[in-house]
Amino acid sequence: MLTVTINKRRRILWIALASVAFFVIVGAAALWTLSRAQVARDSLESAAEVAATFPELLASGDTAATEAAAEQFATDARAARDATSDIVWRTAEVIPWVRPNLSAVRQVSEIADDLATEAVTPLVSVAEGIDLAQLGFADGRIDVAPLADASPALARANEAFQRSVTTVEQLPDPTVSVVADAVDRLTEVIVPAAVTIDTLDRAAALLPAMLGAEGPRTYLLLMLNNAEARTYGGIPGAGAVLSVNDGRIGIERQLSSGDYLIENEPVITLSPPTFALFGDQPGRYIQNTMSPLDFSEGAEAAATLLERSTGITVDGVIAVDTVGLSYFLETTGPIDVGPFELDSGNAVDILLSDAYRSIQEPSVLDAFFAMVAVQMFQTVTSGEVGVDGMIGAAERALDEHRLHVWSRHPDEQARIDGSALETMLLPDDASATRVGVFYNDLTGAKLDYYAEPSVTVELDDCSAEPTVSVTVDWTNTIPPDAATSLPSYVNGFGLTDTPIGETMTRLTVVGPQGWTLQDYTLDDAQPGVQTAQFDERSALQTEFVTSAGGAHRFVVEYSGASGSDARADWDIVTTPLASETAAEFLSANCTG
C-alpha cells in the first residue's frame, strides 16, 4: 500500500511539473509570438506608407526617390516576413482562436516580400522608361523605345501583383482590430497599385506596336456627334485616316459621312443580338456603326465600310465624342476654327448647336467639322501640349465612355479587353452588377443635344428572389417652335415620318448578367418591343416619339436567382450624351 501511494504521489508531482513547464513554454511562446506580431505589424504599416507613394514615384520618373522608396519597402517587407516565418509562429497558427489573425499577418507579410522581390525591385531599374509624362511629341514623333524596353520588367511585376491580389481576396478575416487595421492598410494599397501596374504593363505591350515601332500602322479616327445619339455616344460625323510610323503620326485623309458607301448587305456578319435589336443597318451605314452593344463589332463594321468605300485598310479604330473632345481642349487651350474660337467651355454648344445655326450648307458644315479635327490634331502633335494634361483628359473620357479604341490585331485587342483601356459599355466583370440604358435616334435629326434623360435603378432583395426595377425618364428641352426656329439640318430635313421638331428615339435597357426579364411598361402601357440576349443579359428595346418639352417613362423589371448576392456593387451605364444622364441606385429597406 505504501508503494502504491508513493508512486501515485510521484505521478501527481510529475504531472504538476509537466503542467507548469507546459504553461511556461506556452507563455514564453505567446510572449515571443506577441513580440514578433508587433514587429510584423509595425513593418507592415511602414511598408504600406511607402507602397502608397510608389505608383506616383514610378510614373514621375524620379529615379533616386523611387530607389529609396523601393529599398525601404524591401526592408520593411523582409522584416515582416522574418517575424512571421519561424516555427513558433507557424505552430501558434494551429490554435483556433488566434489562427485567423496570425495566418493573415503571415500571408500579407509574404505578399509584401514577394512584391519587393518580384515587382518593386525590377521596376526601379526601368523607372525612367515608364514615365508616361515623357511620352509627348518631340520633333514630330513619340519615342516609345524606353517604354518597350521596360515591358519585360512590367510584365514580371504585373504577374506578382496579380498573384498578390488573388491571395488578398482569399485571406482569413482577422478578429483583432489592430491586426485587421494593419492588414487592411496594406491590402488597400496593393489592390489599386495592381490596377496601375496592370495598365502600365498593357500600355508597354500595346503602345510601341500601335505607334508604328514594328512597322507602319493606319487608323480610322471617328468624331462622334452626341446631337444624334447612338449607343456609344453619337453618329460618326467628321473623321480622318491617320498614318503612324515609328512614333510619327500624320493625317492621310479627311473624312465625312458622305465618303462612305451605303451597302446593300452588311459588310460583316452581325451578331444575333445586334441583328435582333438594330437589324442590318450597323453593317450597312457608317452612321449606325456605333449602335451595337459591343464596340468591337461596330468598329469592325466602320473599318470594313471604309475599306469598301476607299480601298484603305486600317489597323484599328479610335472614336471620341464631342464632350470628350472638350476635355482635351482644357489642356490644349482655345483653337480657332472658321468663325469660332473653341475652348473647353463652349466646344459642346458650338459643335452640337451653334455651328448648325451659323453654317446651314451641309457641305460647308462637313468642311468645318473636318477643320476642327485637323486643328485639334495639329495642336496635340505640336509638342507644346503637356502630356500630363492629355493623359488626364483621356482618363476622364475613358471613365465616361467617351473615348473608345479597337485594334484589328487579336493579341492587342486581348490586352485592351479587361483593362482600364477597355471601352466596352457592359464588360464581363464580376466585381460589379451592371445595368445598361442606351439611346439611338431614329429621326435623322440633331435634337438629342436637348435630351435630358434620367435613370433610377431600385433593388428589392427582401425576399428569397430579388427583383430590380429600371426606370428611364426621357425628357427634352427642345424649343416649342423648333419646327420653324431650328435649321433643317437640326430638324432632320423631314426625312422620316416623325413630325418636324419632334424626335423618335430607340431606347434599350439591358439587365444584369443572369437576371430574368419579368415585366415592362411605357407610360403605364405595354408597348411593342424587341428582345435579345447579350452576354447572358436580357435586353429589351422600344421606340417612341417625343414632342418639344415632352416626356416618357419606360420601366423594366428583372428578377434574380434565388439566394443570389444582390447587395454587390451596382453600376449604371448609359449612352454618353451632351448632358450627363442623372442616375440613381435605390435599395429597399428590409427592416420594417
Domain ranges of the chain: 26-210, 217-414, 426-587
SS (H, E, C) 246-274: CCEEEEEEEECHHHCCCCCCCCCCCCHHH
Contact 309, 296 (CB under 8 A): no
Grid cell locating 145: 523605345
Grid cell locating 591: 427592416
Cα Rg, the chain, nearest whole Å:
30
What is the strand order of the sheet 433-441 is part of?
Answer: 530-534, 537-546, 503-510, 433-441, 570-574
Task: Tell me which DSSP letter residue 116 carries.
Answer: I
Question: Which residue type, as a one-letter code, is found at position 430?
Answer: A
Backbone angles phi, psi at 163, to 5 degrees: -60, -45
Contact 387, 378 (CB under 8 A): no
Pick the CATH number of 217-414 from 3.40.50, 3.40.630, 2.60.40, 3.30.70: 3.40.630
- Beta strand pairing status for 551-559 and 503-510? unpaired
CA proximity to 448, closest of 410, 490, 508: 490
Non-local (6+) Cβ contacts of 202 within 8 A are 415, 416, 419, 421
Grid cell locating 310: 476607299
CA proximity to 204, closest of 133, 141, 154, 135: 154
Per the DSSP assignment, residues forming a β-bridge with 336 are 341
Q: What is the residue-level pLDDT of the chain in tens, covering all 592 positions? A: 444 555 554 554 444 433 333 333 333 333 334 556 677 777 877 887 887 787 677 666 677 888 888 888 889 888 888 877 766 666 666 666 667 777 777 888 888 888 888 888 888 877 766 666 566 677 778 888 888 888 898 899 899 989 988 888 877 776 566 667 766 776 787 888 888 888 888 888 898 999 999 999 999 999 999 999 999 999 998 899 999 999 899 999 999 999 999 999 999 999 999 999 999 999 999 999 999 999 999 999 999 999 999 999 999 999 999 999 999 999 999 999 989 999 999 999 999 999 999 998 888 988 899 899 889 988 888 878 887 888 889 889 999 999 999 999 999 999 888 776 677 788 877 667 899 999 999 999 999 999 999 999 999 988 888 999 999 999 999 999 999 999 999 999 888 899 999 999 999 999 999 999 999 999 999 999 999 999 899 999 999 999 999 999 999 999 997 666 666 789 999 999 999 999 999 988 787 5
Non-local (6+) Cβ contacts of 375 within 8 A are 335, 336, 337
Neighbour-count burial for 355-364, b at 16+ CB within 10 Å, e otherwise: bbeebeeeee
Grid cell locating 21: 513547464
DSSP helix/strand/coil, 71: helix
CA proximity to 104, closest of 31, 33, 180: 180
